[in-house]
Structure 1
Amino acid sequence: MQQDVITGIGSAIASAIAYGSTYVPVRWFEAGDGLFFQWMMCIGQMLFGVIVLNIAGWPPVFPFAMMSGVFFASGNALTVYIMDGIGMAVGSLLWNTITCVVGWAVTRFGLLGNPQQLPHNNVMNIIGVVIVCIGGFIFGTITHRPIQVRPVPCAILLTAFVGCLYGNMLTPINYLVMHSAETGNPSNISSYFFSFCLGSVLTSTIIFMIYSLTKLNRPFMNPELTLPSLISGIIYAVATYCFFLANQHLDQVGWITRFFHTFP
């Protein structure tokens, strides 16, 4: 598909604003352990996914593209435990730093079946990644004393794992788009967005079922959290859709990857 720089930059700005506004609707409500919130949030994503599905002309579901949603929902469910262990600010910055590096490496070196995408200025590209890593390391040394103390090494390992999941969130869809000429699949990234939402909601539902079993059918569910969580999910879906568009119209291995994981 032909790239449009203006569309890409506009999508990048819209995505950054939406990502930064995702949790505003739920900030006044008790979220508990967060698993009910993330389940409702994924359902909200699905609502927006249906709208995109209609706009895209009702394409079929792509099982491989659903893996993108699986990666997101799995990482999203683990962020609660990370924030308990090392705090929201440090945890968010660390996994976003790892996300940036993983996403950059996958496209820069052509990992996991994706074609290699070389930047226009290799030196500046590497310098940008190094700066992101230095910033993540500096903030990672900040001491945090959570209310519910968890082993910090365990939380850091989970942070690295979540960063890898988020860093590969676009990999399955990007693989399908890059090989669309060979497979006959659509080259428009919008055709895969509903599959992403479907994979996300199915994974979060399974996670919530397992969580309910471990809680002996007494999960934390705040009724006041339902509507705000759905709204947060819709906002996050808008942000993610714009993120997908930005990666399609701009160079994923360049500044666009760092832009998203630095400003939100």
Structure 2
Amino acid sequence: MSNNTTDLTTGFISSAVAVVLFGSNFVPLKKYDTGDGIFLQWVLCAAIWLVALVVNLILHCPKFWPFAMVGGCIWATGNIAVVPIIKTIGLGLGILIWGSFNTLTGWASSRFGWFGMDAEEVAKPLLNYIGATLSVVSAFVFLFIKTKIPTNTYSTDTTPLISEHVINTTPEPSPDYTWVDKLSTVQHRIVGCSLAVISGILYGCTFVPVIYIKDHSKRNDSIYAGASQYDLDYVFAHFSGIFLTSTIYFLAYCIAMKNNPRLYPEAVLPGFLSGILWGIATCCCFIANHSLSAVVTFPIITAGPGLIAAMWGVFIFKEIQGLQNYLLMIFAFCIIFAGVLCTVFSKL
């Protein structure tokens, strides 16, 4: 009983830390122009890989399973759309939508044993179903929340001194406009929400290879027989897949741009900080998965960050305004909170 209590405590604390960091990791980038996001992604993923390197050394370099890299490849592919999503529908709404679809995909694949994984059982299945359903319902509520995103996000989100500097250089940004800047208001909404849904589905599949290896490690006839049951042992392989994939995408981007990629030096340090925060959050997510199981942690860790991100969007960046939007957001938060409680009690 003592070990079970310790696992539950560790799992829920790790989940809470992951929720806060996942909901805040893109905040350092809000004041800086990130262009089309390809260069930013590479910087962010370099920082993520360094976090994994430190964790790997602390764990005394556990066995490296290449298949675990596939999850990182899937995540890096979904993450390419993050900058366009933030530019079109905002940080708060973007995380809310992709988090909800992340929840559905990750929960369903773990609960029903998709992609060759073993189906996970919980003490109270009905509560678990209700919790996952409420997370999905919240996603549709978020789609009706309207956001106010300026054409040049970085200029309006900065301090007055920086804003004055941008005003003096108004004629210059036009050559650096990306395809996102050319979209109409309606197109912003459609493209942003669509990309957020796609990214959320891809994010929901990122842990599949690790869970697959763990499940098949119990079978003597599997090539993964004897593999570690501790999720954190796979972080280095997972993050290596992220860095490798983002590097390939960045090189392809350089080729497509004829060796003249759009680089944004002012975004390097904020991007690096963002990557560090994301890397720590994901390590906490791995710990939570080990302590609670993915079928419990997914609804909590993927739906919770939307609350944190929305708080940033409302109180700091003023992306979400108006009484109707506030009421819709509060209603969605109540649904998420109820869903999280159902998920938590389904394990107890």
Partner of residue 197, structure 2? 160
Q: CA RMSD for the aligned pairs?
A: 2.0
The residue type paired with residue 105 of structure 1 is A
Supply the distance in 2 between the matched residues of 1:125 and 1:82 (Cα, whole angstroms): 30
Partner of residue 259, structure 2? 217
Alpha carbons of structure 1 residues 157 and 227: separation in structure 2 relative to 1, 3 Å: closer
Per the normalisation by structure 2, the TM-score is 0.70
Partner of residue 98, structure 2? 95
Supply the distance in 2 between the matched residues of 1:13 and 1:69 (Cα, whole angstroms): 22
SS at match of 1:112: helix
The residue type paired with residue 206 of structure 1 is I
Supply the distance in 1 between the matched residues of 2:146 and 2:32 (Cα, whole angstroms): 27
1:189-228 aligned within 5 A: 189-228=231-270
Q: Structure 1 unaligned runs (5+)? A: none
Partner of residue 35, structure 1? 38
Deviation at 1:61, TM superposition (A): 2.6
Partner of residue 111, structure 1? 114
Deviations 1:50-91 (A, max 9, x none): 111112221233111001111111111122233344443333
The residue type paired with residue 185 of structure 1 is A
Identify the match of residue 210 of structure 2 among 166, 169, 173. Answer: 173
Structure with higher Rg: it is: 2
Q: Does 1:60 align with 2:95?
A: no
The residue type paired with residue 64 of structure 1 is F
Supply the distance in 1 between the matched residues of 2:120 and 2:216 (Cα, whole angstroms): 14
The residue type paired with residue 166 of structure 1 is Y
Supply the distance in 1 between the matched residues of 2:21 and 2:197 (Cα, whole angstroms): 24
Q: Structure 2 unaligned runs (5+)? A: 152-180, 220-224, 306-348
Identify the match of residue 73 of structure 1 among 76, 89, 94. Answer: 76
Supply the distance in 2 between the matched residues of 1:143 and 1:224 (Cα, whole angstroms): 30
Q: Does 1:23 align with 2:26?
A: yes
The residue type paired with residue 127 of structure 2 is M
Q: Does 1:141 align with 2:144?
A: yes
Per the normalisation by structure 1, the TM-score is 0.91
Supply the distance in 2 between the matched residues of 1:225 and 1:206 (Cα, whole angstroms): 20
The residue type paired with residue 11 of structure 1 is S
Confirm or deny: 8 A CA contact 2:105 2:201 kept in the other structure: yes
Aligned length: 262
SS at match of 2:145: coil
Partner of residue 86, structure 2? 83
The residue type paired with residue 259 of structure 2 is N
Q: Percent identity?
A: 32
Supply the distance in 1 between the matched residues of 2:26 and 2:92 (Cα, whole angstroms): 14
Task: State which drifts further: 139-148 or 190-199.
Answer: 139-148
Alpha carbons of structure 1 residues 84 and 20: separation in structure 2 relative to 1, 3 Å: closer
The residue type paired with residue 258 of structure 1 is P
Partner of residue 184, structure 1? 226
Task: State which drifts further: 237-246 or 134-143.
Answer: 134-143
Partner of residue 304, structure 2? 263
Partner of residue 15, structure 2? 12
Q: Does 1:243 align with 2:246?
A: no
SS at match of 2:114: coil
Supply the distance in 1 between the matched residues of 2:23 and 2:145 (Cα, whole angstroms): 23
Supply the distance in 2 between the matched residues of 1:41 and 1:173 (Cα, whole angstroms): 22
